[in-house]
Amino acid sequence: MRRDIFQAIADPTRRAILSLLALQAMNPNAIAAHFDCSRQAVSKHLQILAECGAVRPQKQPGREIIYQFNLQKMKEIDQWFQPFRQLMEDRFDQLDEVLKDL
Amino acid sequence: MANKTVVTKHPESKKILVTREFDASLEKTWKAWTDASVLDKWWAPKPWKAETKVMDFREGGKWVYCMAGPGGEKHWSGADFVTINHLQNYTTNTYFCDENGSVLPGVPLSQWIVGFQENGTSTMVNIELTFETSEGMEMLVNMGFEGGFTMAHGNLDELLSA
């Protein structure tokens, strides 16, 4: 199964988890408390998010793992998107000129 | 000052939405998007030029054109017109093709819904692009959308060195 940022955000629960973790790092129990689904389901989502690189699990000695949001990975979405945005803007600026003479 | 182009991406639904206002009447704006002689003037960003080979603007018809580069290179694309509601909207299925309009295998398709709305003296254009797969969406955009030609602009180089 593919593991990339698009897989990470393909599921609404995972998107919700990411928006929580974007605010602060949390342990799995604290995350699960925000959702109706089972603790196992949340763990499964966290595992996928970690495999996709969207979150980073951090082990602290004697304490539970906490999950941290990986902003760098989210930026990949913007990176592949930028050339497309630029193309559209270039096109439309030209169309502005064409419309003046039409 | 150019009007703002609003582009939003929705990878989870495999869609990209683009909205842009043009300071021209609905009739003129519609013509600019649907008449090949006008499209050829703006569809390709400089220094590329769009050159239409076939334009059959009716439901079931198609547009076959190339992006011609300054070094003589050509990237062919096609769009099949599915629905056309005059001065309101049209829908196309787009693809890469050879110069005869035959679809190239293994390249992702996208569907375009282009809507037009008169807004006083200007016209709002709303584009909804839907891709078959999110991989297709990534690939198409990574390729610079049409044959990789935006690579020539150095946008991607700048981006990758940032």
Instruction: Quote the ipTM score.
Output: 0.83
Q: Does B155 sit within 8 Å of A86, measured CB to CB?
A: yes
Interface mutation vs chain A, best among B41, B46, B122, most A CBs within 10 Å:
B41
Tell me the two tokens of residue B99: 């110069």
Give me the pLDDT at residue B18, please: 93
Alpha helices (H) in A24-102, listed in sequence order: 28-32, 39-51, 71-100
Give me the pLDDT at residue B127, please: 95
pTM over 0.80: no
Interface mutation vs chain B, best among A11, A17, A87, most B CBs within 10 Å:
A87
Give me the pLDDT at residue B153, please: 36
Contact residues, chain B, for A84 at CB < 8 Å: 7, 16, 141, 144-145
pLDDT tier at B95, thresholds 50, 70, 90: confident
CA distance B19 to B106: 29
List the single residue in B9, B22, B32 with the smallest CB-CB distance to A77. Answer: B9
pLDDT tier at B104, thresholds 50, 70, 90: confident
**In this predicted model, which residue has the larger pLDDT, B135 or B36?**
B36
Question: Is residue B53 less than 8 Å (CB to CB) from chain A?
Answer: no
In sequence order, the 6+-apart residues with CB closer than 8 A to the CB of B159 are A79, A82, A83
Question: Is residue B25 less than 8 Å (CB to CB) from chain A?
Answer: no
Cβ A67 vs Cβ A55: under 8 Å: yes
Q: Does A92 sit within 8 Å of B22, measured CB to CB?
A: yes
Residue A65 belongs to what H/E stretch? none
Is the pLDDT at B158 greater than 50? The verdict is: no
Is the pLDDT at B82 greater than 90? The verdict is: yes
List the single residue in A79, A84, A95 with the smallest CB-CB distance to B145. Answer: A84
Is the pLDDT at A10 greater than 70? The verdict is: yes
Contact residues, chain B, for A3 at CB < 8 Å: none
CA distance B22 to B28: 10
Report chain B's mean pLDDT, rounded to a whole number. Answer: 83
Q: Does B9 sit within 8 Å of A98, measured CB to CB?
A: no
Type of residue numbered A60: Q
**A85 CA to chain B: closest CA distance, Å?**
7
List the single residue in B16, B45, B141 with the smallest CB-CB distance to A91. Answer: B45
CA distance B135 to B116: 29
Residue of B nearest to A6 (CA): B11
pLDDT tier at A13, thresholds 50, 70, 90: confident
Is the pLDDT at B154 greater than 70? The verdict is: no
In sequence order, the 6+-apart residues with CB closer than 8 A to the CB of B67 are B44, B48, B49, B50, B74, B75, B77, B146, B147, B149
Give me the pLDDT at residue B31, please: 96
CA distance B85 to B98: 29
Sign of the dihedral through C-alpha B103, A86, B39, B22: positive
**In this predicted model, which residue has the larger pLDDT, A90 or B126?**
B126
Give me the pLDDT at residue B87, please: 98
CA distance B21 to B160: 31
